[in-house]
Each structure stands twice: as C-alpha cells, then as structure tokens.
Structure 1
Amino acid sequence: MMKTTNDLLNHIELRQESETIFEGTSLTVGSKNVFGGQVMAQALNAAYRTVGADRICHSLHGYFILPGDLEKPITFKVQLVRDGGSFTTRYVTAEQENKSIFVLAASFQVKEEGYEFQGDMPEVPHPDTLLSWEDIYQQTKDFLPASFTHFLSLDRPIQFKPTVINNPMEKKDLPPTSNVWFKFKEVPKDLSIQHFQEILAYSSDYNILPTSLHPHASQAHFGNTMMASLDHAMWFHREPKDFSDWFLYSIDVPSTSNARGLTRGRIFSSDGSLIASVAQEGLIRKLEK
C-alpha cells in the first residue's frame, strides 16, 4: 500500500516503452477494480512525458470505458495531436490486453498573464478541528459494518477530513453537497507543478461520486447501489503557494437521473485560492435484491 506522497508519485510514474508508449501497474484503494483516479493520473503522466517543460496542463477530459484489472499491467499510448504556439494537445488511450479501458484528452498551455477572478471558498470548519478518516475508523470500527470500516482503515498517501460526518446507519436524505479537507502526506520539497497536478487528479476521484447519493441516502447506500465513474473533467486554474497545504474539496450535485449522478467540485487551498474545478458523471444503478 501507499503511505506517502513519494509512494504515490512512484506509482503514477510510468515505465517508458517508446517515445509515445508507457506502461504502469495498479494498487487497490479498497475496490476490486482499478481506481479511476489512478488511471487518470497515470494517463496525465504519459501525456506530460511528451510535452515541453514550458507547457502546463490547464484541462483534461477522460472517459472510463471498462473496469481495469488490478493484476494486469496498463499500456498508455499517447497521440501527439497538436503542438501550437501557445497550446499543446494530447490524446491518451489506456489499454489492457489490447482493449481500451480509459481515454484522456488533455490540453497544455504556456504561462500567460490575464484577467483574474474566482468565486469564494465556502465557510467551513478548520481542518485542525475535524476528525480524519483514520480517526473515524478508530471510533467506529467496533459497531459499523466491516465493509465500511475496512475502506477507512486502509493506508493512503492522502489524509481526508470531512467537515460533516454522516452516519450511514441513519436512513435519511442528506443535502446534495459535501466538503472534505485533504492533504498529501510527506510532500517532497522539490515537487514540480506537473507532478502536483498528477496527484491532484488522482485525489479528485475520491469523495465526488458518493456525494451523488446524498439526496437519496434514506434508500441508497454502497450496499445496494452499483457505482462507477463514467467520465471526469478537470480544469487547473492556479498553482498553490504550498503543495503540502490543506486543500478543500467542495462538491455539489446538480442532478441525478437515468441511473447516473452528475457532480461538480471546486478545490481550494487553505488561503481561499481556487486551484482547480472538477466535473464528473457516474453510474448510480439500483441493484436488485
């Protein structure tokens, strides 16, 4: 398992097979399939390996096509779509046994000066006053279902602190929002913005889709709902002053329909700077008894 940011970086960094082909492996985050954030971060790593150092990713759009097998290597094939004066475009296909499991389109830009505006960060409790997933596990492991507490007990390179702790045993609908502080553990002092974006993409697949169940929490839960990320988009706005800072993931749910949930997220640094925006649609299919 991964315990530090270096562990995560080593896992995301791919082995180069040729100029545009790379290979990676997988580690579980508690699911029987490859974690979507992992394959997305690795695809971004592959794209970055073909882009000039002066270009920084400003947006990515990915589709999850098939569940990834944790035991099999993943081959990442990069298509060099365009190299322009200011923007670079890459298309990455992730494959297992010659079948596409994920595709990514990513755009990179040289640094430019321009207009500045952003929305305000929500007012939420400071992370120092909140319990982490590890703390919640220690307090609930003796009376909550093992399937739930096992997920909380796993070692991770990221510390999560939800601003509100919902009791999964209470059968009541919840507001269509969630706010979660997170922090990368033992961040290297020489971490580049490129590698920071890769681990931020990895972390952005946590917490977002489960929020789509909040409006239906009186009926829906992990045990009776099939959940899977379908697509994921991310826009990088600003470079944080401190990569080891606490970041707030503020998530809302505009709609659920047709066994799908649409979620949106904004990632702020602790000083209120908007670092990135996220949108994801995922499968939330009712399971037959």
Structure 2
Amino acid sequence: MTDVTDLIELIALKEIHPAQFEGFSKTVGSPNVFGGQVLAQALNAAARTISNKRVLHSMHSYFLEAGDLELPIIYTVNITRDGGSFSVRRVTAEQNDVTIFILSASFQNQEEGHNHQISMAEGIKQPEELMGWSEILEQFGEVIPKKMKSFLEVDRPVEFKPVELVNPFNSEDLPAFTNVWFKLKGDASHLDLALKQQILTYVSDYNILAAAMNRHASKAHWGNTQTASLDHSMWYFRDFDFDDWMLYSMESPNASGARGFAKGNIFTRDGKLVASVAQEGLMRPKN
C-alpha cells in the first residue's frame, strides 16, 4: 500500500450477507495479519449495520489467534442492542471457521454536554524538525539491524516521524514513553467520520508497544522479544481531519507477566484531543 486510497480499499469490506462481510489482508512487514487492519475492518463491519446515524464512541477487542495473510477474513456482526441513545455491536472475525478476533463497539446519538480535555505536552518537536521512517531508512539503512530495515522497507499509506529517535545499538534503558507524529499519504479530504475513525484505529496499533519496550531497552529489543497485540481498546472524542500531522503520545505504566501495558492519546497538531487508546501486548523474552 502506498497511499490512503489503498488503505480505504483494504478497510472497506465486501458484503456477503446482511451483517456478514469479507476482508483481505496486506502485510506491514510481519508474517501475520497486522492487528490495526483487523481492528479497522471489524469497525467497518460494525458501522455498516448502523442505520440511525449514531457515531462510534468506544470499542474493546481481543486478538485470539494470529491471522493468516493468505486467507480471507470473515466478519460477522451481532446486532446486540439498539437503545434510545446507544447502539452496541459485537463482531467476530474468523479464518477457516476459527475465531481469530472479537470486538465490541458502542455508537451514540450526537449530543451536547460538558467538555474538557488534557493538553498536549509542551515543547514537542514539530514534524518539520524530524526524520520520517523513509528518511531514517535512507540515511541509516546500511547500519540498522536487518529486521528493522526489512520492516522500514515496506510501503505504507502512513508516514511516521518519531519525536524520540532511538539508537538500536545503545544498550540502555529509556523512559517508558514515546511520541510519534503521523500523516496519511495522498488526498485524505472528504472522508466521513466513520471512515476517519476506522483509519485512525488502523494507525493506533502502530508504535504503542514501543513505550513498554523502551523501559527495558538495555536487554530487550524486537529481535529477542516475542511481541503481539493481546487486546486493544479505544475511545473517540471529537471529529477531526487528516489534513495535517497528528501526534500520538504514548506511555507505559506497567510491564509484568511477559506482558506490556501502554496507553496513548492522539492529538491534532493544534492540540485537540481526538482519541485515547489502551493496549496490552505480549512482551515475552526469547530463550
């Protein structure tokens, strides 16, 4: 995938029956289906069963099995509830009749109410001051670890610019946080809110476990640690546009039991809090 058009095509599922859809996969550089893809596709399936203009405000999910890149994914939506203000959908994703993923999502009538948010951290370097993944690959491709190089070489519809550039050869523990600017490639105008939320969810599965890995960087890295998303939750607060860079600010309060927990906030460049994320991921040292 090279731009947002390819990403939209990936997310938009084929309807098989009412409340049942089929999706395909694209690699992001790992041997299994990318968690963000399944998250976004499942939300696409859920949203396709909402006919009362209610807006997604939260979702909670579990990754049960590694997805096979070569097999289609069948998404079945259970219309759990349509209440006076909220609608709830439960989505099951299967390959070869094996459940690989489950998600529940809640949609709400658009309402007015009290309003507050936390502020974006001050002093964050702007994206114009930073190198993107493609620039990092171009400048350091000959010296960075082979696995990292292979990951960076994959074409993506999103450009990422890490604020804190980590040297993979420095064996020292780092603070348990990371900040990354991101921007879609291509024309992202004229997207409806549901699709913007699905794309944002796709992006939210990138980078977040790095906040937990940083705290153990003196001994843990992507080459000697088995990692995988275990669960993923997200809350959506405000409408937004993808016409500028957005900041994904992540931190890890805990790692234990071969799992790392991280949470994140996504801001527009002018500081509007768009969404919050929480994820626990496998972080198992390899022998």
Q: TM-score range by the shorter chain?
A: over 0.9
Q: Is residue 264 of structure 2 the alignment partner of residue 279 of structure 1? A: no
Q: Secondary structure at the match of 2:17?
A: coil
Distance, in Å, in 2 between the alignment partners of 1:160 and 1:188 is 16
CA distance in 2, matches of 1:244, 1:189: 7
State, as a whole percentage, how many aligned pairs show the same letter: 51
Q: Which amino acid aligns with 2:182?
A: F
1:134-153 aligned at under 5 Å gives the runs 134-153=134-153
Match of 1:213 in 2: 213
How far apart, CA to CA, are the structure 1 residues paired with 2:250 and 2:279?
Answer: 10
| Structure 1 position 189, deviation (Å) | 2.5
Stretches of structure 1 lacking an aligned partner (at least 5 in a row): none
CA–CA distance in structure 2, aligned partners of residues 102 and 245 of structure 1: 32
4+ runs deviating over 4 angstroms: none
Whole-Å separation in 2 of the counterparts to 1:212 and 1:21: 36
Structure 2 residue matching 1:216: 3-state secondary structure: coil
Q: Shift of residue 53 of structure 1?
A: 5.0
State yes or no: 1:228 paired with 2:228.
yes
Instruction: Provide the C-alpha distance between the structure 2 equivalents of 1:58 and 1:93, rounded to a whole number of angstroms.
Output: 19
CA distance in 1, matches of 2:187, 2:99: 33
* TM-aligned CA deviation for residue 285 of structure 1: 0.4
Checking the alignment, whether the CA contact within 8 Å between 2:147 and 2:223 is kept in structure 1 is: no
Partner of 2:242: 243
Query: What are the superposed Cα offsets for residues 62-102 of structure 1, whole Å, 9 maximum, x if unpaired?
Result: 10000000000000000000011211000000000111000
In the other structure, the counterpart of 1:60 is 59
Tell me which residue corresponds to 1:92: 91
Distance 1:189 1:49 in 2: 21
State the match for 2:187 in structure 1: 187
Report the count of equivalent residues.
286
1:127 aligns with 127
2:7 counterpart of 1:11: no
TM-score normalized with structure 2 length: 0.98
Distance across 2 between alignment mates of 1:198 and 1:153 = 24
Aligned partner of 2:170 in structure 1 is 170
Secondary structure at 2:89 match in 1: strand
Shift, 1:188, TM fit: 3.5
Find the aligned partners of 1:243 and 1:253 in 2 and give their Cα distance.
26
* SS in structure 2 at match of 1:17: strand
Q: Hey, what's the Cα distance between the residues in 1 that align with 2:73 and 2:65?
A: 12
Tell me the alpha carbon deviations over residues 111-137 of structure 1, each in whole angstroms, 9 at most, x when there is no partner: 100001000101200111110000000
Whole-angstrom distance in 1 between the partners of 2:250 and 2:208: 7
Q: Name the counterpart of 1:20.
A: 19
